[in-house]
Every structure is written in structure tokens, then in C-alpha cells.
Structure 1
């Protein structure tokens, strides 16, 4: 019974964010969108309502369109959010992994992105393999 109560709370908060135009229809922000994709996919798993998986896919598409760049994904739509942070990208990779449960193309997209972004975050000759 507690799980159902929690889902109702989440649905109420999601409805409030939509009504206030906070999310998912505000500026794109990778961290928030990653958590939102995971939330929507989780709602789909819990409630078996296709609309949540469709909305998660829509958010992924919006992120690709708005934040996607040749060398990965930037962290946000605002002008001061042009760069990349590994923890934002890691959360986005997790969101793609979660979506990959339903469509393997998302998993492939995550693998491709990980390969694209890996190099700039590696310090040569550091870590266990660089000794």
C-alpha cells in the first residue's frame, strides 16, 4: 500500500511541475532531464501506461535536439551551460541505459556517447593502468 501512496505523490508533483511549466517543458537541463527520463520510465514499469514511456522518449528526443553536439551533449540550454561535466553525462548515460530496457537502440546510443566523451575526461598515465 505504501508504494501506491508514493506513486500518487510522484504523480501529483509531476502534474504540478507541468502546470507550472517547470518540467519537462522548460529549458533543457541535462541533469534534470536525466532524472526525469528515469522517473518516467519507472512510472511506466510500475503502472504499465504507455504514455510514460512515450514521454520519456520525447524527453530523450528533446535532449538530442537541444543539447546534442558533435562531441557529446552539453549540460544545459542556457548560454552559461555550454560545457560538460562527467557526473551529468554519467547520469544521462544511466537514463539511456534505463531506456535501453525497452528499446536496445537507447543502449547503443549510450555506448556511442560514452566512447565520444571518454577521451576528454581521461588523464593519460593516471590510474591503475598508467603505472
Structure 2
């Protein structure tokens, strides 16, 4: 899921795919220095390899043998559980960044198309409370 979101996030911020949204989602072009969401993009790009690492298989790792080689799987189960818990925490950070990208994109689209930041024109009634 994270890889899929990573590709969508990358395409969303790229002008060739975003249907005219500003580069890096720069909101206020009047400022002399404005990097938009470039820092968040770098942050997400840093998190993604770590998520891939956390999602790797434990089957090819050397298990610790216990109870006369009768409990080989237990050591891998414990490590898999720890990595799964860590990957969920990291994925929460990653998906939060993705949500910020989507919110900025919708804000900018509303400004471009309707010259307003009132998103009720673009969001469904079910989505408005979440926003």
C-alpha cells in the first residue's frame, strides 16, 4: 500500500500529471522564497526505503534454535511481530504526509478553478467532516 501511495504522491506533485497545479504545490507565489512541499517530499522519500526494509521477509534469516531445534519458528515470529509494529508506526507517519499533499492539492485546485479556498464546492458531503 505504501509503494502505491508513494507513486500517487509523486505523480500528484509533478506538474506533468497534476493538471496545472503549481510546482511543489507552492501556495503563495508572492513570497521570494517558497519551496512548497519540497521538504515533505524529501521526508516521504526518506521514509519509503525504511518501510520497504521493515516489510522484508524473515524466512531467509537465520533463526535462533531453542528447545532442541523444536522452536525455530518462535524467534522469527517475535522478530516479524516487532517489525510489523514498527512498520505500522512508520506507515502512519508516511500516510500523514500523503494526506498533507492531498489537502494542499485540493486547496490549490479550488483556488485555481473557483478563486476560493472554500472546499465545499469540491468535496462530497461525506468527505467534508474528514477534511
TM tier relative to shorter chain: under 0.3
TM-score norm. by structure 1 comes to: 0.24
- Please tell me whether Structure 1 or Structure 2 has the larger radius of gyration of its CA atoms: 2
Of Structure 1 and Structure 2, the greater helix share is in 1
